Amino acid sequence: MREHVLAMLKESDDFVSGQELCGKLSVSRTAIWKAINSLKEAGYVIEAVRNRGYRLVSCPDVLLSDEIQSRLETKWFGRKISYFDVIDSTNSEIKRQAEKEFIPGMLAIAEKQTLGRGRKERHWESPAKTGIWMSFAVKPDLPPYKASMITLVTALAVAKAIKDVTGLNTEIKWPNDIVIGSRKVVGILTEMSAEMTTINYVVIGIGINVNMESFPAELEDKATSLYIAGGTKVRRSSIVAKFGKYFEKYYEIFCKDGNLSGIKDEYEKLLVNRNKEVYIIEGDSRIKRVAIGIDTDGELLVKDDNGNIEKIMAGEVSIRGIYGY
Ligand code: BTX
């Protein structure tokens, strides 16, 4: 009920009468009154004037599922949201949920993670109320080896959402990070449960540094936030909602094509170090190549000094720009 009341108040710049709310939502005045009070408790400032109704004055920057749902314009992304103040890891949570019952686009989102993780169990710093720590699940009707491409689909959707909401230009560090300048602002962790030939589900975890003003010493040189980069605080639910819209669009193109041909050009426009020298690092070896783009399977294409083109598969190696990222 709260999210419907909130959505109606948001749609109107003026007062919405209690009668209109009751009529449109087919509930009693008491139900509306309760929903308004509960929104106020959650930090929404709502003006109530006798004979005129209710007017939304301001919204808190909360990730409450109603706040997100009232902004979502998606068909299936985030239609079921689980919201947590604190959780170990939203990726772990969505896996636990998907094992019991899989719902396409099911989303878990937390204000804080205690065991946020990156690839190879690396720690992902997820402090309270300043970032977006979320995971969701999909089940593409594709063979398991194609699942890693969803990381690239996700990266493109996140970069587009950030640009739309904040105006900030980001770049994608193939395959799974998003950077501003030479610092990481977003990390993506894709995990899969599969049989030999079918995918049970894929969990996509996204960490976005939104409003933090500083980072712990060990991340100071590596990480940034949208606030640090752009100078203004950003409403997190707007980014979640925009992301959902872009993700659905690009994911559906990807599923239809069965590869990245439909989004390759857009992805490449945002590829950091495109046409620049990079090191390909594998164990102790470090080889210099020029990054030229991706192929339709999401592999990175690099060129050697003789003009020979090689394909690099995600997961095998790490890529570093010669100057910074
Ligand atoms: P990654 O392995 O590419 O990056 C992890 C590395 O990034 C760490 O070793 C550290 O150097 C650096 N790092 C840690 N925290 C941050 C941060 N907040 N900002 C910038 N750099 C950082 C990237 O893995 C994938 C991260 C996915 C995180 C999401 S959050 C929601 C979901 N739940 C979960 O447990 N993981 C995902």
Cite the beta strand spans of the chain per DSSP E: 45-49, 53-58, 81-87, 107-113, 131-138, 171-173, 177-180, 183-194, 199-209, 277-282, 285-294, 300-303, 309-312, 318-321
pLDDT reported for residue 322: 61
Atom of ligand 1 minimally distant from the CA of 183:
20
Closest CA to 236 of 71, 125, 12, 85: 71
Tell the residue number behind the tokens 């707007």, with chain if given: 238
Whole-angstrom distance, CA of residue 64 vs CA of residue 57: 18
Tell me the mean pLDDT in the region 237-261.
97
Atom of ligand 1 minimally distant from the CA of 184:
20
Task: Return the best residue to mutate from 88, 117, 124, 135 for the ligand 1 pocket (most ligand atoms within 8 A of CB).
Answer: 124
Q: How far is the CA of 121 from the centre of ligand 1 (A)?
A: 9
Tell me the mean pLDDT in the region 56-72.
83
Q: How far is the CA of 209 from the centre of ligand 1 (A)?
A: 10
Q: At what angle do helices 2-11 and 18-25 cross, to 10 degrees?
A: 120
Which CB contacts under 8 angstroms, 24+ apart, belong to 28-33? 31/1, 32/5
What does pLDDT average to over the chain? 93
Closest CA to 208 of 90, 86, 85: 90
pLDDT > 90? residue 315: no
Q: What is the pTM of this model?
A: 0.87
Opening angle at CA 175, ends 172 and 180, nearest 5: 25
pLDDT band of 67, cuts 50, 70, 90: confident
The more confidently predicted of residues 325 and 266 is 266
Q: How far is the CA of 205 from the centre of ligand 1 (A)?
A: 10
Cite the beta strand spans of 195-299 per DSSP E: 199-209, 277-282, 285-294
Please say whether the dihedral angle defined by the alpha carbons of residues 228, 231, 235 and 237, taken in this order, is positive or negative.
negative
Nearest CA to ligand 1 atom 9: 122
pLDDT reported for residue 283: 83
User: Which of 57-66, 169-178, 253-262, 302-311 bottoms out in mean pLDDT, i.e. has the lowest?
Assistant: 57-66
Q: How far is the CA of 117 from the centre of ligand 1 (A)?
A: 6
- The predicted-structure confidence for 11-26, as pLDDT tens digits, reads as follows 888 999 999 999 999 9
Closest CA to 205 of 98, 279, 76: 98
- The predicted-structure confidence for 97-124, as pLDDT tens digits, reads as follows 999 999 999 999 999 999 999 998 999 9
Opening angle at CA 132, ends 126 and 133, nearest 5: 55
* Percent with pLDDT over 90 in the chain: 81
SS3 of residue 140 by DSSP: coil
Q: Which residues contact 154 (CB under 8 A, 6 or more apart)?
A: 188, 190, 204, 206, 247
Tell me the mean pLDDT in the region 42-48.
89
Indicate the residue type of 122: R
Quote ipTM for the complex. 0.99
User: Which of 34-48, 177-191, 217-231 bottoms out in mean pLDDT, i.e. has the lowest?
Assistant: 34-48
pLDDT reported for residue 318: 76
In contact, 8 and 2? CB cutoff 8 Å: no
pLDDT > 90? residue 300: yes
